[in-house]
Amino acid sequence: MTKFIFFSGKGGVGKTSMACAHAVRYADEGKRTLIVTTDPASNLADVFEQEIGHQITPIAGVPNLSAMEIDPDKATQEYIDRAMAPIRAAFPPQIVEVMEEQMSGPCTAEVAAFDRFTDFLDVPSNNGTSFDIVIFDTAPTGHTIRLLELPAEWSQSIDAASAGSGQTCLGPAAAIQDAKHKYERALAAMRQTSQTSFVFVLHPEAISIKETRRAIEELRKLDIENFSLIINGIIPPEGAQNPLFAARAEMQSRYLDQIEHDFDYPKQRMILLADEIKGAGKLRRVGKIFFDGEPASGSDEAARVHLQNETFASPLDDVRARLSPNGHRRTVFFAGKGGVGKTVASCVTAVWLARQGFKTLLLTTDPAAHLGDVLDTPVGDDVTEVSGQLNLWAVNIDPKAAAETYKTRILNDARQRGRPESAIKVMEEELNSPCTEEMAAFDKFIEYASQDEWQAVVFDTAPTGHTLRLLELPVDWSKQIDVKVFASVDATAADDVAKQRFAKVIEMMSDPEQSTFAFVVYPEATPILEAWRAAQELGTVGVHPGLVVANMVIPSEQATTPFVQSRRAMQEKYLAEIGQRFGVPMVQIPLLPHEVKGLEMLAELGDQIYSEQVTV
């Protein structure tokens, strides 16, 4: 029986590194192993240092190991072609065209990626090759849980469509009944504890622990029970010889105790290494440390390195010009790979803007929202003034609540237009599809972003792949409104008012006088590449980065031991690369001895990075 292992956890905790290290170890043991990612922000190719892509690809230097990065665009086209093949043969071209438009919604890429992913769960062989172990390097947890919830939601959507119009956002119901059974079998395989296990990778930090607990609770609702934990990034004794890292090690110690107390599952630990984990050789070293308990040695023992001690600082006037309103309302979007510190960067920036006297709204549509944790004050799904900070309001857009509000508004509008009840029923089926939450969350953001009362809006976004889909929604929505919702009723009844709102927001996003896209990265290879790819994709819709935030930068004066010097030298290399790649001002948030939490600390950090010329 093929064994399935899912690696999950908050973005940025080393999930991919640990998944790859496991894959190499199993392959070296002679097991035919496949590692697959459904993460739209995949970096398998970066870790293995070779091209992989949307097909099963042998990994050089590791016999028995293959990998695949599911490409959302290719998976989507494959999915549509497969679902539409019987329809094209049986219906006139104009009906086929409407149905294809109905499948062009923004959720289709996610749907198609999951469809491709279930192929590996559903059959013991793929492309004629059987595997002993299939490892899924999944997306950040919030995204993963939505994927795992989809089979149940799709079954409901398909059943409802079969009883009604016969159409869903996933395609014609009759064409995907087989898929429904495939998804049910996939979920059944996930529930088999003898066959499937879920490994949560986390850091010994408060938000990471909270996220892991939430994710496990969500999976248990789906009757998935076989869990284990890898606590990653633990500072080793040689790292803690430095005051900064010693303080962080002490903080980690408290959280390690909490993890032991709170989680009654098998646990393993992995230390923070002095250098990067890239290439088969390095992954084998990680395996020896992790599986065999060998001490980090050789290249992992940091020798003294030459530090440039450059500041990489950008003029503060250039930075502030991209954050402060200048006669327009300023909207600042924080984007980047999950777990790089977007929430901290957005909270620091929002507090700083509010303290400059600007009426500021801080909001998120991230399903794994942590605004309240960082602000140290509750943030709900209504705009609320942040207690203790003048000029600052915050809101966490709950996609489920937004979807209910959105559905009610659309259906009430249709009734006011005098649509017959049969047409309302068709629309209601369409709106009950799994896509609606994402669409509704973005609609809610547009509602807030269009309000005139704010001088500054700071948007703490979801991880990059999710964010890009959000930003592409307005373009898709013009089709959605014309065709998807109304085509079967009245093709001329497009919601012009909504289209005008979307056009206005797209114009605002692409105007650097009104909007700034700030990419948050660690000074490491993978987050930088991810941000660069996202910036390239944004460029295709006329949106360009205005700022880069380098987070957790080791202050040069702290580089006093070989371990810290090695990590600082690695960071200096990547700080230089950030400047070369992006060519926009860079802000640096220093690595601190403790977590960023509370208004006082956010205010101090804001003054440090936006009001003082700091060299770190």
Give catalytic residue positions: 12, 14-17, 39, 526
Report the distance separating Cα 244 and Cα 450, nearest Å: 43
Q: If DSSP codes are grouped into helix, strand and coil, which group holds residue 360? A: strand
Report the distance separating Cα 131 and Cα 58, nearest Å: 13
- 390 CB neighbour count, 10 Å cutoff: 11
Q: If DSSP codes are grouped into helix, strand and coil, which group holds residue 124? A: coil
Both structure tokens of 167: 């159409």
Which of 555, 184, 349, 486 is CA-nearest to residue 176? 184
Report the distance separating Cα 56 and Cα 9, nearest Å: 24
Question: Residue type at 110?
Answer: E
Which of 366, 373, 370 is CA-nearest to residue 336? 366
Is the separation of the CB atoms in 110 and 147 below 8 Å?
yes
Both structure tokens of 180: 């429904």
Provide the sign of the torsion angle of the four alpha carbons 119, 120, 122, 126, taken in this order: positive
Dihedral, 64, 201, 605, 249 alpha carbons, nearest 10: -100
Q: If DSSP codes are grouped into helix, strand and coil, which group holds residue 33? A: strand
Is the separation of the CB atoms in 343 and 604 below 8 Å?
no
Is the separation of the CB atoms in 332 and 516 below 8 Å?
yes
Report the distance separating Cα 121 and Cα 186, nearest Å: 6
Cβ neighbours of residue 156 under 8 Å, at least 6 residues apart? 432
Q: 547: part of which helix (H) or strand (E)?
A: strand 545-553
| Backbone phi, psi, residue 307, to 5° | -100, 135
Report the distance separating Cα 173 and Cα 390, nearest Å: 53
Q: Write down how long the chain is.
A: 616
Q: If DSSP codes are grouped into helix, strand and coil, which group holds residue 250? A: helix
Task: Give the DSSP per-residue string, 68-107.
Answer: EE--HHHHHHHHHHHHHHHHHHHS-HHHHHHHHHHT-STT
Cβ neighbours of residue 218 under 8 Å, at least 6 residues apart? 145, 149
Report the distance separating Cα 411 and Cα 425, nearest Å: 9
Q: 459: part of which helix (H) or strand (E)?
A: strand 456-460
